[in-house]
């Protein structure tokens, strides 16, 4: 039993060290769109789906309208059946700026087989006239150079999709524990150089908070209709684009935009619960991925403080240090807090594992909802 436990600690620590090295190499290939990119002359449509976003929509719209270096900018906002003052806020801003157009939607359920966000985004895209489509969530704040920078990357590299990851703002204790993993997971584990040069759909990481498409490529691959019942529609869009034969790029967007995804612990639990069950293609894969994360980042840390053998404690400490180093490298690159947050990597993985269990429990019971809508496409089976 002792030798088996030591073997587990050694295996976890070895993988943690390998991932730390991979993280350092990976970050050298991580693109960072140029904030000094040339002026964009082609028409760009910024598309914002909004449902009950009165607390954020004004800030988001003002940052979109403050974009520099975009000669022809149009902004479409879909009020997706909000029960608050979202539509009124957008209407007031639109009255003062002809670039903004409000599309009013009612609170009827999405059509058969569709989830709410893909349906909202699809309706926006249908009415957009830009040759570049930039989807922005209603709680994202853009820097003035953001649209110009992502559009330039899209064109200069001849891509169908650019997926910048905004800086994740985290205030409460649970947000600070979990939110850094949004960026760390792909920055540490997905081979970015290979992912960008390959059309393998499995090598895809995207964040729906900010996505930039070539409009023709978006429509050719089916738009949001291609991911109509996907809970993780952002990753699904990148996979669909690759299946259509177009290259994509996941890039560092921490200098382009910022987003506080969840306002406090309860919102975070509900937000992750709606989607984590779908992240690993079934319960077996989900259990395997969660178990691997625990082996690599929790077991060595536990051994470092609790093992009887000094040798096992040393091996565990090495694995723990490697996990912290990987997190710290990503945090430093993306402008997130380095210390003391990265020291809590084992607790972060434990929290993510618990959220995955909650997500599966709610999914099995059919109680997963988001903003008053079920997280299952009506008539379409599991999303």
Q: What pLDDT band is residue 382 in, cutting at 50, 70 and 90? A: very low
Does some domain include residue 140? yes
Task: Kindly give the pairing relationship between strand 161-168 and strand 140-142.
Answer: unpaired
User: Which are the contacts of 308, defined by CB distance < 8 A and separation ≥ 6?
Assistant: none
Is the pLDDT confidence value at 329 over 60? Answer: yes
Do residues 90 and 237 share a domain? Answer: yes
State which of 233, 261, 289 marks the end of a domain.
261
State which of 216, 236, 261 marks the end of a domain.
261
Q: Are 44 and 123 in contact (CB under 8 A)?
A: no
Do residues 77 and 110 share a domain? Answer: yes
Do residues 316 and 257 share a domain? Answer: no
* Predicted pLDDT at 185: 94
Higher-scoring residue by pLDDT: 48, 368: 48
Does some domain include residue 289? yes
Do residues 236 and 191 share a domain? Answer: yes
Q: Are 17 and 9 in contact (CB under 8 A)?
A: no
Is the pLDDT confidence value at 378 over 60? Answer: no
Q: For a pLDDT cut of 70, what percent of the chain falls above it? A: 96
pLDDT one-digit tens code per residue, 95-150: 999 999 999 988 788 999 999 999 999 999 999 999 999 999 999 999 999 999 99
Count of domains for the chain: 2
Between CA 200 and CA 149, with CA 214 as vertex, the angle to 5 degrees is 100
Is the pLDDT confidence value at 296 over 80? Answer: yes
Is the pLDDT confidence value at 5 over 90? Answer: no
Do residues 15 and 43 share a domain? Answer: no
Taking residues 218-235, report their average pLDDT.
95
* Predicted pLDDT at 212: 98
Do residues 36 and 179 share a domain? Answer: yes
Q: For a pLDDT cut of 90, what percent of the chain falls above it? A: 81
Do residues 229 and 327 share a domain? Answer: no
Does some domain include residue 256? yes
Range of the domain at 109: 31-261
Burial class (CB in 10 A: 0-12, 13-18, 19+), 75: buried
* Predicted pLDDT at 380: 42
State how far the Cα of 310 lies from the Cα of 82, in Å rounded to an integer.
59
Does some domain include residue 329? yes
Report pTM: 0.91
User: Which are the contacts of 78, defined by CB distance < 8 A and separation ≥ 6?
Assistant: 47, 48, 49, 50, 103, 105, 120, 123, 124
* Predicted pLDDT at 198: 80
Do residues 100 and 233 share a domain? Answer: yes
* Predicted pLDDT at 379: 45
End-to-end CA distance of the chain: 42
User: Which are the contacts of 10, defined by CB distance < 8 A and separation ≥ 6?
Assistant: 315
Taking residues 190-215, report their average pLDDT.
92
Structure tokens at 131: 């040759």
* Predicted pLDDT at 370: 64
Do residues 40 and 155 share a domain? Answer: yes
CATH code: domain of residue 154: 3.90.550.10
pLDDT one-digit tens code per residue, 168-185: 999 999 999 999 999 999
pLDDT one-digit tens code per residue, 246-273: 999 999 999 999 999 888 899 999 989 9
State which of 205, 228, 261 marks the end of a domain.
261
* Predicted pLDDT at 42: 97
Query: What is the average pLDDT score of the chain?
Result: 92
Do residues 95 and 68 share a domain? Answer: yes
Do residues 97 and 195 share a domain? Answer: yes
Rg (Cα) of the chain, in Å, rounded?
A: 21
């Amino acid at each position: 039993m002792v030798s088996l436990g030591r073997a587990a600690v050694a295996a976890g620590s070895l993988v943690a060290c390998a991932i730390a090295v991979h993280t350092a190499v990976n970050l050298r290939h991580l693109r960072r769109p140029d904030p000094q990119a040339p002026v964009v002359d082609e028409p760009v449509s910024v598309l914002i789906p909004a449902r009950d976003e009165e607390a954020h929509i004004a800030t988001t719209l003002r940052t979109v309208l403050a974009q520099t270096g975009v000669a022809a900018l149009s902004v479409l906002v879909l009020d997706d059946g909000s029960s608050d003052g979202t539509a009124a806020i957008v209407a007031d801003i639109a009255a003062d700026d002809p670039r903004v157009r409000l599309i009013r939607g009612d609170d009827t359920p999405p059509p058969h087989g569709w989830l709410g966000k893909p349906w909202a985004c699809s309706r926006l895209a249908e009415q957009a006239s830009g040759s570049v489509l930039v989807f922005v969530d209603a709680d994202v704040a853009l820097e003035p150079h953001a649209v110009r920078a992502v559009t330039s990357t899209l064109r200069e590299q001849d891509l169908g999709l650019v997926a910048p990851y905004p800086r994740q703002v985290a205030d409460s204790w649970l947000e600070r524990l979990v939110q850094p993993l949004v960026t760390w997971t792909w920055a540490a584990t997905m081979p970015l150089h290979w992912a960008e040069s390959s059309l393998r759909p499995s090598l895809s990481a995207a964040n729906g908070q900010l996505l930039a498409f070539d409009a023709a490529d978006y429509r050719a691959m089916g738009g949001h209709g291609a991911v109509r019942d996907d809970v993780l529609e952002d990753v699904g869009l990148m996979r669909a684009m690759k299946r259509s034969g177009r290259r994509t790029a996941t890039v560092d967007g921490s200098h382009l935009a910022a987003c506080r995804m969840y306002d406090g612990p309860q919102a975070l639990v509900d937000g992750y619960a709606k989607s984590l069950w779908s992240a690993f293609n079934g319960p077996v894969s989900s259990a395997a991925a969660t178990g691997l994360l625990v082996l690599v980042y929790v077991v060595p840390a536990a051994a470092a403080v609790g093992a009887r053998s000094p040798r096992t404690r040393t091996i565990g400490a090495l694995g723990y240090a490697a996990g912290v180093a990987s997190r710290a490298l990503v945090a430093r690159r993306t402008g997130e807090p380095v210390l003391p947050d990265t020291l809590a990597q084992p607790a972060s993985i434990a929290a993510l594992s618990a959220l995955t269990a909650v997500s599966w429990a709610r999914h099995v019971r059919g109680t997963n909802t988001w903003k008053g809508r079920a997280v299952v496409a009506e008539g379409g089976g599991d999303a």
